[in-house]
Amino acid sequence: MDIEVSQSRVRGRARAPPSKSYTHRAILAAGYSGGALVYDPLVSADTKATMRSVDAFGGDVDREAGENHLDVTGFDGRPDVPADVIDCANSGTTMRLVTACAALADGISILTGDSSLRSRPQGPLLDAIDSLGGRAESTRGNGQAPLAVKGPISGGTVSIPGDVSSQYITALLMAGAVTEEGIDVDLETELKSAPYVDITLEVLDAFGVDAEKTEQGFSVPGGQSYDPADGEYHVPGDFSSMSYLLAAGAVAAADDDEVVVAGAQPSAQGDSAIVDVLERMGADIDWDEDNGYITVRHSDLSGVEVDVGDTPDLLPTIATLGAIADGDTRIVNCEHVRYKETDRVSAMADELTKMGATVTEEQDVLTVHGDESALEGAAVDGRADHRIVMSLAVAGLVADGTTTIAGGEHVDVSFPDFFDVLSDLGADVRRQ
């Protein structure tokens, strides 16, 4: 589906969707439990993949029409061997978390996904499972899905790089809690995307599971049970998704008006850093943390340097802001952002260039030269990546003319009603 976005002014109130990261973890945590209610979940293409995985392991995820929660019947820490291949679709989080869960089952589980997911690295997690006494293989021998995973593992100590994906650590901690021995994770390199592991620790704590940071990495004792207070868990709002709405307000809010985004309660989400980034760029932005509201007004922005080592999902948003700001916006420590649904560093460089931006791309640095950029409507490719699509839509709000974005349907991954929300704020959005 193509989306056309024309130069627009926006105003009003919006609510970002629930957090995708928290929803994934909460669904699987409820699966590890005897059962739980997950309130305010994000129901999207990615999280549906995690729901299907819980079903495949012998649990059941029930969502009644019109209800604001999932009723999860868990497999109580003892996953069955799936009767069929688990299709993780485009969800890298599902693939990583479910791979470790599969290592608990007494038999062989097969995991696959779409072409994009089958190109993403899984090797370090497979090696970790092997070192814990399981067997985990890439069927093509290239460290990528399809994967064959055989358990059960009983726990132990494992070394793993921290600079490829924090999801490996999350997967091992979640599975390790229900092993006999627990799992100690020693990091071989500096941990990238560390706030995502903080999210994991927060969710584990909410489900009654102890896990901690250590000098070497992380540790989770074995023999634990997942048991949330009152049998329920509430998912917070998603700052990754919020970033597009806040950026839209900063670059395209109507004069003497504002965009107010609800659902912004503080949490362990690293992507709440978007508020600080916008402040540093000169945005008129206020965060009422107690009530969970962020208010942003149209602002003259200036380029800054941003390290996205812990916040890779913000790179597309920041790159778009840089194309509109004065001066250079330098996004550093971003090589790991190349290993997402697509190479987001190259994708943003190429697509913003089509719109008239001047961009310098290096392996670990993306620089957007705002003073040399004048955005004009163009035909751009969303690269089948929800974050690329939404960031280009923000660029389309200020570009001269109309921007046509290919692959608009991929917002279903994390923000299914994104274009409806944008339209409700006043944006000129049309579906083709």
The response to whether 78 counts as a known ligand-binding position is no
Q: Mapping DSSP to helix (H, G, I), strand (E, B) and coil, where does residue 49 land?
A: helix
What's the one-letter identity of residue 369? H
Q: Smallest Cα–Cα separation from 177: which of 221, 218, 137, 217?
A: 221
Residue 106, judged by CB atoms within 10 A of its CB (0-12, 13-18, 19+), counts as exposed
Name the active-site residue from 238, 313, 381, 385.
Answer: 313
Helix (H) or strand (E) holding 14: strand 12-15
The response to whether 20 counts as a known ligand-binding position is yes
The response to whether 25 counts as a known ligand-binding position is yes
| Strands (E) located in 278-364 | 284-288, 293-297, 305-307, 328-332, 358-361
The response to whether 118 counts as a known ligand-binding position is no
The response to whether 377 counts as a known ligand-binding position is no
The response to whether 364 counts as a known ligand-binding position is no
The response to whether 340 counts as a known ligand-binding position is yes
- The DSSP code for 70 is E
The response to whether 33 counts as a known ligand-binding position is no
Say how many CA atoms lie within 13 Å of 277 toward its Cβ: 30
| Strands (E) located in 169-250 | 183-187, 212-213, 217-220, 232-234
C-alpha distances (whole Å) from 1 to each of 78, 184, 405 are 41, 45, 8
* Residue 313: active-site member: yes
Prior bond of 312 cis (ω within 30°): no
The response to whether 120 counts as a known ligand-binding position is yes
d(CA 222, CA 380): 49
The answer to whether residues 296 and 321 touch, using CB atoms and an 8 Å cutoff, is: no
d(CA 248, CA 403): 15
Give the tokens for residue 308.
């996205």
β-pair partners for 358: 369
The response to whether 21 counts as a known ligand-binding position is yes
d(CA 145, CA 277): 36
The response to whether 313 counts as a known ligand-binding position is yes
Report the binding-site residues. 20-21, 25, 92, 120, 165-167, 193, 313, 340, 344, 387
Residues classed as catalytic: 313
Report the binding-site residues for 3-phosphoshikimate. 20-21, 25, 165-167, 193, 313, 340
Report the binding-site residues for phosphoenolpyruvate. 20, 92, 120, 167, 344, 387
